[in-house]
Amino acid sequence: MNTLLHICCAPCANQCIDVLRTDGYAVTGYWYNPNIHPFTEYRSRRNCLRDYAASIGLPLIERNDYGLRPFVRAVAEDIDGRCVKCYSMRLYAAAHEAKEGGFDSFTSSLFISPYQNHELLREVAERAAAEYGVTFLYRDFRPLFRAGQERARELGMYIQKYCGCVFSEEERYLKAKKILR
């Protein structure tokens, strides 16, 4: 069985890759994250993933679109409800790539994050799978989140401080500002 793993970043992906390989899957990484901004953040995450993939022999497909304008247009009408649009952009692209590439299934490293809306993420992935006629391989990787972060630190990986979009970065700073008051 070969699966396409949409990857948001190397720190989130390392445990997902290990689990899938242990379960007998041939894993190919897929980089498509038009939500990550600014460009320096996008480049840092992408380059870290490139280096990690090379170090573990992970085939990596890159849809290397820095998508500031399309992302902002997609979420501008409902910034607070942006996550569903963000998940859709990435998971529909992954499902399409899985179909076109002849993969048996697809999944995402997003399923490791305790900060993501897991049920919404799963619903979007299932809709994408149905639309493209591919199998969505569901795994709840959240119990492995801390181990993945620890491994990322051990390997000297770049570890981000927010999910990727400028609005999540803004929320991070607003929360810090409230704490300082």
Q: By the 8 A CB rule, do 4 and 28 touch?
A: yes
The answer to whether the beta carbons of residues 45 and 160 sit under 8 Å apart is: yes
- The verdict on whether residue 8 carries a ligand-binding annotation is yes
Q: Identity (one letter) of the amino acid at 69?
A: R
Q: How many residues does the chain have?
A: 181
Residue 181 neighbours by CB distance under 10 Å: 4
Lookup: tokens for 176: 């810090």
Distance of CA 34 to the CA centre of its chain: 11
165 is in an annotated binding site: no
CB 136 within 8 A of CB 107: yes
12 is in an annotated binding site: no
CA pair distance 69, 67, nearest whole angstrom:
6
Residues annotated within a binding site for [4Fe-4S] cluster = 8-9, 83, 86
Binding-site residues: 8-9, 83, 86
